[in-house]
Amino acid sequence: MILESVLDKKKANKKVFCVLIDPDKFPEENILKIITAMETAAPDLILVGGSLVTKKTESTVDVLKKHLSIPVLLFPGSLLQLTTNADGILFISLISGRNPELLIGNHVASAPVIRSSGMEVISTGYILIDGGTTTSVEYMSQTKPIPALKTDIAVATAMAGEMLGQKLIYLEGGSGALNPVPVEMIEAVKQNISIPLIVGGGLNTKEKVKAACDAGADIIVVGNAFEKDLSLLKEFKEIVSAY
């Protein structure tokens, strides 16, 4: 079980390194280059998804699973990205927003398909944080992110997510964020929840990845950074594995 593995690492004070693949940004002809880089970096998990509508999710998952033994989780931005060939799915509820479709609507529509697929389902409270620019997820979700200085709101939202039964909390700066989630916010959220904390968005340098780890992130997600430089994957994995 993927969640069980994450919980075991958390209990052992170890971190989890995830690579986020956006099918729209990595057409199949470039996937093999990524696979070679991932064979070297050996991330713990691969997330597949993005904010825009795509028809490439299924084929991307197929290629990844054909060439790699790393678990592949769906990170769907819409119902159209749902496919049943992944190992599991982050069943995301955008708890920082007030768009009912992303709080529960899409979940109701997709639940029968997901249940019948046999995929592992990991309920995840998704909290969007202002990263200094309008990101794709903000625009597509039609929700406002929590301001970067409003740590108390982020903490209360994360606490509510855990109380509602979420298994993971995801603090997200958004793809292409100018600024990552502030370390003060990561620290505060970490201190107030007992479930694993994911941090992603804007983690495009070794220093930012290390800062997020130091602040208490249990799971580090990188995507936008290595799209331009695949060598960063190995460097980031070494940082995360050092904990």
Q: Residue 137, Cβ neighbours under 10 Å: how many?
A: 26
Q: Does 97 count as an annotated binding residue?
A: no
Q: Does 165 count as an annotated binding residue?
A: no
Model-level pTM?
Answer: 0.95
Secondary structure (DSSP) of 164-225: TT-SEEEEE--TT-SSPPPHHHHHHHHHH-SS-EEEESS--SHHHHHHHHHHT-SEEEE-TG
Q: What is the pLDDT of residues 149-189, one digit of tens each?
A: 999 999 999 999 999 999 999 999 987 788 999 999 999 99
Q: How far apart are CA 222 and CA 204, in angstroms?
A: 7
Q: Does 77 count as an annotated binding residue?
A: no
Residue range 215-242: mean pLDDT, rounded: 90
CB 46 within 8 Å of CB 73: yes
Select the more confidently predicted residue: 140 or 31: 140
Q: Does 174 count as an annotated binding residue?
A: yes
Fold for 2-241, please state it. TIM Barrel (3.20.20)
Q: Does 175 count as an annotated binding residue?
A: yes
Q: Does 49 count as an annotated binding residue?
A: no
Out of 18-22, 163-167, 212-216, pick the least confident.
18-22
What is the number of helices (H) and of strands (E) in the chain?
10, 8
Q: pLDDT averaged over the chain?
A: 93
Q: How far apart are CA 154 and CA 158, in angstroms?
A: 6
Residue 51 scores a pLDDT above 70? yes
Residue 31 scores a pLDDT above 80? no
Residue 18 scores a pLDDT above 70? yes
Q: Does 224 count as an annotated binding residue?
A: yes
Q: How far apart are CA 61 and CA 240, in angstroms?
A: 24
Percent of the chain with pLDDT over 70: 98
Q: Kindly list the domain boundaries of the chain, sorted by start residue.
A: 2-241
β-strand partners of 198: 170, 219
Residue 27 scores a pLDDT above 70? no
Q: What is the pLDDT of residues 56-78, one digit of tens each?
A: 899 889 999 999 999 999 999 88
